[in-house]
Chain A
């Protein structure tokens, strides 16, 4: 596969930006990226919103320990690598599970270091690059879709900060009527301690196209590192009749506070299959919103989380039925170890006139420790009267008869528990297609590693 090395600015060994967020820092970031005036204006607007907005009222999630003033607001540029072997081992392992692929993008902190794209896709008009390059090369597309509809900058204080300081991220545009079987893979490696990263994922899929995108967030494990921040925004535009599969997996270090807003907009008769995995971070709070805005849309929404130690993982989902005749089927599953805590808040909303809605929501939690705690808060906002809607939440412990059954076959207790937990997660993992078999195996391995402690 031919590779394209990303164009690098000619800044040699740039000095680290000053700590803390400010208007000057934002201007410096924009200038270093050679951004056009409209993007600088976007950033200014984001900064104004950030200053005006109050932090959201989260009753259960606490990020007070994060010292915003100590954070480095954006990364100095990094050199591209031509040899994937030169990447950190954990990153290298992550990449090894992807066999043939449509395109690969690797970023270190927020700077792209490697990318490739299959030639025939390029010829067919597929656009695949890091987000900063997209701003320079495809300004009209970015202006149309970047924080306009799916996740507007003023959604909350943190999306506003993202609008002001976003850097790096993934841009994939698929024109109409293209069926792409192999997955696109984007991996972001968050490396520098105390550096805040704000990657932006923008996926625009034209009518009747089919595509798979996997987005992984990784960093070294680090308990002792000073806290840092990951403030991502993901926007998925699924065109009429398009079929999109999106997987995002977060396995960041324990020094990372991870706040992510993710929204998909589904046009008529489109199909979205979306798995969101949360394994890492000190505190992680992510949203996964699916807006069904044209009739006939289908959203299969899956969440998998596995906190341990003192991790806190909070998630909110929205199945937003704006149009009638749509289906949303949500399954969120988590297992909790140590003193960890999860908070799941799930809303099903059916707007007036969203008749013939089918909406299902299920949240299942497995407590693997007496000190872990899982909260589940479902919410229904139903303004249509002709619909089918179910929701249910469970919190359970490992079944001791199952453990005994497996042990009676010679399987030691820790392996018995591991098998049961892997089995518990199977309904989520089964939603991955054969083309992502390697990822499925690695997630299974990650679950096993967590259980070994």
Chain B
């Protein structure tokens, strides 16, 4: 049996430059993994490549999810298969309300890609009532004001609001594997606690999470069973939760030295 998400010898280039240089990683539902690495080590490159961003070219290797190598699968299909990425830098979409966006996304995720965005869902996606009820619950979980639903997606959101918005989407879309790219950055301590509690609330045997961070801080709240250290496009060390603490104490130079020796 292979893992639910299985990344094998992944090489990824951006603008012709190789950033990931043979990365292996296995994640199962029910597990929390953390990837730590210094700035520029390729963490976001991994996240974007997993989701299928066209600028991140997989030059070698495989990504197995739901019984298929998804390297050639377009991003929307990956999402519908149950993959989710909470972006480090989410885009704003002016003129599109959070509610409209989420409802369109939920209808798509639930195999109803044709559902309309203007309040109607031909083909019978989630009903407006059902949707509002669910949205209210999930927003309450993340202590978000319901008024947010009428704002335009990420338009004028503060850094912290954007991160909550990402986790709200995760809550609504119920993925099987979720990658959280620096969800802790830009959050003050209260917001970090709320967002982390939200993620913990969502944890279940059906959800696997990969937390990407370069600080250990978030791992006090979202407790990983596995910690991996990414340096210069390769995972150079893997271990249990203690590895994060050790790294915090000794710094990335220690990793580089250990690896070099």
Residue of A nearest to B102 (CB): A409
* Contact status A426-B94, CB under 8 Å: yes
* Contact status B75-A408, CB under 8 Å: yes
Residues of chain B with a CB closer than 8 A to A401's CB: 91
Given the known inter-chain contacts A413-B74, A445-B118, please indicate yes or no for A423 contacting B104, CB distance below 8 A: no
Minimum C-beta distance from B93 to chain A (A): 5
The complex places the Cα of A382 from the Cα of B95 at a distance, in Å, of: 33
Given the known inter-chain contacts A407-B76, A407-B79, please indicate yes or no for A423 contacting B108, CB distance below 8 A: no
The complex places the Cα of A278 from the Cα of B79 at a distance, in Å, of: 37
* Contact status B79-A410, CB under 8 Å: yes
Given the known inter-chain contacts A419-B93, A425-B95, A426-B94, please indicate yes or no for A408 contacting B104, CB distance below 8 A: no
Residue of B nearest to A440 (CB): B118
Q: Is B143 an interface residue (CB 8 A)?
A: no
Q: Is A79 an interface residue (CB 8 A)?
A: no
* Contact status B91-A399, CB under 8 Å: yes
Residue of A nearest to B85 (CB): A408
The complex places the Cα of A426 from the Cα of B153 at a distance, in Å, of: 13
* Chain B binding surface SS class: mixed
Binary A-proximity of B112-145 (CB < 8 A = 1, otherwise 0) = 0100111100000000000000000000000000
Residue among A401, A424, A448 with max Cβ neighbours from chain B (10 Å): A401
* Contact status B117-A415, CB under 8 Å: yes
Minimum C-beta distance from B191 to chain A (A): 22
Residues of chain B with a CB closer than 8 A to A410's CB: 76, 79-80, 105, 108-109, 113, 173
> In A413-447, which residues have CB < 8 Å from any B CB?
413, 415-416, 418-420, 422-427, 441, 444-445
Residues of chain B with a CB closer than 8 A to A408's CB: 51-52, 75-76, 78-79, 84-85, 87
Q: Is B238 an interface residue (CB 8 A)?
A: no
Q: Is B221 an interface residue (CB 8 A)?
A: no
Residue of A nearest to B82 (CB): A410
* Contact status B173-A404, CB under 8 Å: no
* Contact status A423-B152, CB under 8 Å: yes
Residues of chain B with a CB closer than 8 A to A406's CB: 93, 101, 105
Binary B-proximity of A391-404 (CB < 8 A = 1, otherwise 0) = 00000000111101
Residues of chain A with a CB closer than 8 A to B108's CB: 409-412, 415
The complex places the Cα of A154 from the Cα of B97 at a distance, in Å, of: 47
Minimum C-beta distance from B175 to chain A (A): 10
Minimum C-beta distance from A334 to chain B (A): 15
* Contact status A409-B169, CB under 8 Å: yes
Minimum C-beta distance from A310 to chain B (A): 28
Q: Is B100 an interface residue (CB 8 A)?
A: yes
Residue of B nearest to A424 (CB): B95
Given the known inter-chain contacts A404-B54, A405-B90, please indicate yes or no for A411 contacting B104, CB distance below 8 A: yes
Minimum C-beta distance from A88 to chain B (A): 23
The complex places the Cα of A426 from the Cα of B91 at a distance, in Å, of: 18
* Contact status B96-A420, CB under 8 Å: yes
> Which of B85, B104, B109, B119 interacts with A415 by CB under 8 Å?
B104
Residues of chain A with a CB closer than 8 A to B85's CB: 408
* Contact status B95-A411, CB under 8 Å: no
* Contact status B94-A413, CB under 8 Å: no
Residues of chain B with a CB closer than 8 A to A404's CB: 51, 53-54, 75, 91
15 A–B contacts from the bound complex (CB under 8 Å): A401-B91, A402-B91, A405-B90, A406-B101, A407-B74, A408-B87, A410-B76, A411-B113, A415-B108, A419-B93, A419-B96, A423-B94, A423-B96, A423-B152, A424-B95
A residues sitting closer than 8 Å to B (CB atoms) are 399-402, 404-413, 415-416, 418-420, 422-427, 441, 444-445, 448
Closest 3 CB pairs of A and B: A423-B95, A426-B95, A410-B79
